Structure 1
Amino acid sequence: MPVTSEGQPLDDRNENRSQRPKSDAFKAFMRGQWAAPSTTTPEESPVAPHAARRRRALSDKFQGERIVVPAGPLKVRSNDVDYRFRPHSGFAHLTGFGLDHEPDAVLVMEPTAEGTGDDGGHHHATLYFRPLAGKDSEEFYSDARYGEFWIGPRLNLSQVKALLALETADLSGLEVAITKDAGVVNVGGMRIRLLRDVDLNMDALVDTSRINTSVDLEESDTLDAALTEALSELRLVKDAWEIEQMQHSVDTTIEGFHDVVKALPRAMSHHRGERVVEGAFFAKAREEGNELGYDTIAAAGNNATVLHWIRNNGQVKSGDLLLLDAGVEADSLYTADVTRTLPVNGKYSDVQRKIYEAVLDAADAGFAVAQPGKKFRDIHEASVRVLAERLADWGLLPVSVEEAISADGQQHRRWMPHGTSHHLGLDVHDCSRAKRELYLDGTLTPGMVFTIEPGLYFKDEDLAVPEEYRGIGVRIEDDILMTEDGPINLSAALPRKADDVENWMAGIYSPSGE
């Protein structure tokens, strides 16, 4: 441990703040007179059987191989302050753990004889995590990251086992569980597949084991990448429990949009009104969910033409549009992703309405083409054709519509530069590591959940458009569930048509704040 000229180790410097006593008398006093911890066994979570089926699907794909999926560690925000913990989405999907469970945990799926594993599969899964330290331990009161005195109680091994219907074990046994019998397969060793770049300690442990057993690291990287890919593809089609969670996230998000409209009078009076908007939505996310699914875009005026505007430090002025792109993440970690572009004073101007309705028409065209058996890319193509036609009608395209939307053209992308759809789930951009042929070139399948989100963005400095268009950015985004009978708009309860938006806003607030 580094020691400075003053003699105090650097790693002890944070105790200058906490001033924790170290006397034997204090330690002895802290060990006694505490109530016994809860031994209540929780009921099995509704997600447990769904998570078991997901693990079984992974087991079928990687028979005879050890699978290692870390949750990830705590991450430092500054000095001794951590970000709120969120497990890796692949880990959450396979275990059912949401909320802030469980830093440093690792799921290990150990291969068994064919058909003798969990649920008749080919692996036995064990969740390794740090058990709660007893109140007679120094960790209980001295460890600000893991001690119950600092962060509150956590479920013990048996309670987590009951909750998730998943075998659990102390984290202290993890190294042996991962590295035992590891080695080159054709000489009797066990192949390990690791979800990489989640926990650097796990990366180092597995890589060291591979080096020590002469396993080819380059080949192993390819095998690990295939696991990452498989975990993304496993989430392309949502099960019934996931769809319930996502509808809850969408419904709560809609409540957040309502709260934002209520806050608009104060936002207009504040020098950083976008922060007022952001704060109103964040309050709903924390009250009713776990967190935001992603940083809120609360973009007013020309800021709405910046696709990922998250500074949110601008003013909100009457007569401007407010582009609000926001989503609540549920306790299960499933998120919504909804965008509406609202007239701050409650009424669209003629130009704003013209642009808004063009985007709405494009969204409706994407929705119409989104049918089982169609390609995912068809949604984008249908939407951008409508936008290109409007741009041509307005005299903005320098070429024909057909030339613009051709692979060698793309001039329309000056004003619609992003894709129209992405999968949605545990990540706002879910399934991002899936193969192209299963994602962009994939077939729309019942159970898929995705967005439809066309937009038009005319920047203040864009001299290729008339002055009256400049500073206007419009995006409309809804969350879509594909069913056997066609698409269902999960966010349809939030008004979309211009007249409906105006009427909805009028029922919540008046621009004067009355």
Structure 2
Amino acid sequence: MFKKEVYINRRRKLKERVSNGVALLLGNVESPMNYRDNTFHFRQDSSFLYLFGLDFPGLVGAIDFDSGEDFIFGNDVDMDDIIWMGPQVTIQENAERVGVTLTASLAKLNDFISKIIGQGRKIHILSPYRAENKILLQQLLGISVDRLAEYASVELIKAVVDLRSVKEPCEMEEMEKASATGYEMHVTAMKMAHPGTWEQKIAGTIEGIAAAGGGMISFPVILSQNGETLHNHDHSQLLKEGRLMLVDAGAESSLHYASDFTRTIPVGGKFTQKQREIYNIVLAANNRAAELIRPGVPFLSVHRAACEVMASGLKDLGLMKGDVKEAVKNGAHALFFPHGLGHMLGLDAHDMEDLGQVYVGYDEEIRPSEQFGEAALRLGRRLQPGFVVTNEPGIYFIPALIDQWRSEKTNAAFINFDKVDEYRDFGGIRLEDDMLVTESGCELIGQRVPIEPEEVEKVVSG
């Protein structure tokens, strides 16, 4: 964990942003995989981790905005725990490591909450996403599980988003570590991209690299020759010469900060002419977006600029037609690019998504779009120094979507469907980098994973 002053300072800043009441912040508990004592790898709640720093299960934090006091509730281990887990530090000792002096057992939590309710004071909660925490909140607050989201505190959500959006230097050090591991994962995948290799062997190998880096994967590995399926977690195929393998994967540092890269690799080490043409369009969009990412610029406008680069390139190949700006305005490019350019990155691969994307990626000035494709953009608001965002344009040929648009004549004025049919078995290409917004522009986090087509071919062939 970081020095205790980091967590003290974060909680102090939160107190400056929330007017009154008490914030109840639930850590995660162990989650059984197939029976109670065989659990999934533990992952602490990111907001709890951000404010309290303690990375083990069974904890609840509370922040009193009126008195300024901080609390941690948790149970010390008993002898049975010690037999199986070894000696453990007490809750009090752990709490002091993050600057909290007031602790109590979980058995005291209900009395604590009842007293606050009895005083008529507000209890602030974040929207829970784990079933165990939903049940606990129902027991503590008397709110049915299916209505808890209605009672999430918008004031607390906005305050947490405000703090977590701007990364501190200590956080960037962790993201550099996650980036270094992610680099090794992707270069290893490139080196393994040879005909006859089982996709699962590559996916499992790079998961192992993430674990060896001191953390875990930051999200389930996406790795497939069927890159037209955006989140393809099926790794059942053997690689075939001439196909494209899309790899979207990242690692967490030991303190759970994430990296998130995507590369698209020619199996066997050589792009075909058709593949290289599409690849270079996506690369041009990625590079153009990087030029535009800077403080004060709405990420929505960066997204649209990248869309125009791709629409222009597709027009040059005869796949699209008409005025490029009008085509993008009408969403015609979304046949090939049905998602957003990027999202926030930090303690989560989709940072703070559990808090509500409308609060994380948008504000009163810039609201989410309802247009197909752009509606999937997770980040639209103006960028600020310290934001970390992904830059991930892509071009995909999705047969079912092509057929639907052709039959419904969707954006027929901008799409040459006969030419598109020549690409039905192409797959997809996505290229993703992680970017830190600086005072004057942006910079890549860590060493850039090989991305120029010649570089990628060399790594695969070498």
* Fold agreement, TM-score > 0.5: yes
Question: CA 1:498 to 1:153, structure 2 compared with 1: closer, same or farther past 3 Å?
Answer: farther
CA distance in 2, matches of 1:47, 1:237: 18
2:46 is equivalent to residue 89 of structure 1: yes
Shift in alpha-carbon separation, 1:504–1:104, aligned structure 2, 3 A = same
Say whether residues 1:161 and 2:95 are aligned partners.
yes
Please show how residues 211-230 of structure 1 align to structure 2 within 5 Å: 221-222=150-151, 224-230=153-159
Given that 2:58 and 2:75 are in contact with CA atoms closer than 8 Å, whether structure 1 keeps it comes out as yes
CA distance in 2, matches of 1:459, 1:405: 19
Does the 8 A contact of 1:370 with 1:378 survive in 2?
no
Query: Following TM superposition, by how much is the alpha carbon of 1:315 offset from its aligned partner in structure 2, in angstroms?
Result: 2.1
Does the 8 Å CA contact 1:379/1:421 hold for their aligned counterparts? no
SS in 1 for 2:395: strand
User: Does 2:387 match 1:448?
Assistant: yes
Residues 180-195 of structure 1: matches in 2 within 5 Å? Answer: 180-183=115-118, 188-195=119-126
- Give the TM-score taking structure 1 as reference length: 0.77
Q: Look up the match of 1:327.
A: 250
TM-score computed with the length of structure 2 as normaliser: 0.85
Distance in 2 separating the partners of 1:175 and 1:102? 21
Aligned to 2:296: 373
Q: Which has the larger radius of gyration?
A: 1
Residue 410 (structure 1) aligned to one of 331, 335, 356: 331
CA 149–311 in structure 1, closer or farther in 2 if over 3 Å, else same: farther
Instruction: Name the residue aligned to 1:363.
Output: 286
**Does residue 1:496 correspond to 2:427, yes or no?**
no
2:183, 2:149 → 1: CA distance?
45
Per the TM alignment, residue 379 of structure 1 is displaced from its structure 2 partner at its CA by 1.7
Structure 2, unpaired ranges of 5+: 367-378, 404-416
Deviations 1:312-340 (A, max 9, x none): 21221122111110000112111100001
> 2:436 touches 2:445 (CA, 8 Å); kept in 1?
yes
CA–CA separation in structure 1 for the residues paired with 2:87 and 2:393:
46
TM superposition shift of 1:351? 1.0
* Alpha-carbon separation, structure 2, partners of 1:390 and 1:424: 29
CA distance in 1, matches of 2:220, 2:172: 23
Partner residue, 2:114: 179
Paired residue for 1:252?
Answer: 181
Q: Given residue 5 of structure 2, which amino acid in structure 1 is its aligned partner?
A: P
Q: Please state whether the residue corresponding to 1:450 is helix, strand or coil.
A: strand
Corresponding residue number in structure 2 for 1:128: 73
- 1:274 corresponds to which residue? 199
Matched with 1:386 is: 309
1:170 matched residue in structure 2: 105
The match for 1:17 is none
Q: Distance in 2 between matches of 1:206 and 1:170?
A: 15
Change (3 A) 1:287 1:468: same
Q: Secondary structure at the match of 1:182?
A: helix
Offset at residue 305 of structure 1 (A): 0.6
How many pairs align?
422
User: Does structure 2 conserve the Cα–Cα contact (< 8 Å) formed by 1:351 and 1:469?
Assistant: no
Structure 1: which 5+ runs fail to align?
1-44, 114-122, 141-146, 212-216, 508-514
- Displacement of 1:375: 1.2
Amino acid paired to 2:339:
H
Report the equivalent of 1:203. Answer: 137
Specify the alignment match of 1:39 in structure 2.
none
**Do the aligned partners of residues 47 and 309 (structure 1) sit closer, same or farther apart at CA in structure 2, a change above 3 Å counting?**
farther
**Partner in structure 2 of residue 242 of structure 1:** 171
- Deviation (angstroms), 1:419: 0.1
Per-residue deviation, 1:178: 2.3
Q: Secondary structure at the match of 2:192?
A: helix
In the alignment, does 2:428 pair up with 1:478? no
Partner of 1:506: 461
Measured on the aligned residues, the alpha-carbon RMSD in Å equals 2.4
What is the one-letter code of the residue matched to 1:445? Q
User: Would the aligned equivalents of 2:126 and 2:157 in 1 still touch at CA under 8 Å?
Assistant: yes
Tell me the CA shift for residue 172 of structure 1. 2.6
**Residue of 32, 53, 63 corresponding to 1:109:** 63
Opposite residue 136 of structure 2, the aligned amino acid is M
User: Per-residue deviation at 1:370?
Assistant: 0.7
Q: CA deviation at 1:200?
A: 2.2
Q: Larger deviation: 163-172 or 422-431?
A: 163-172
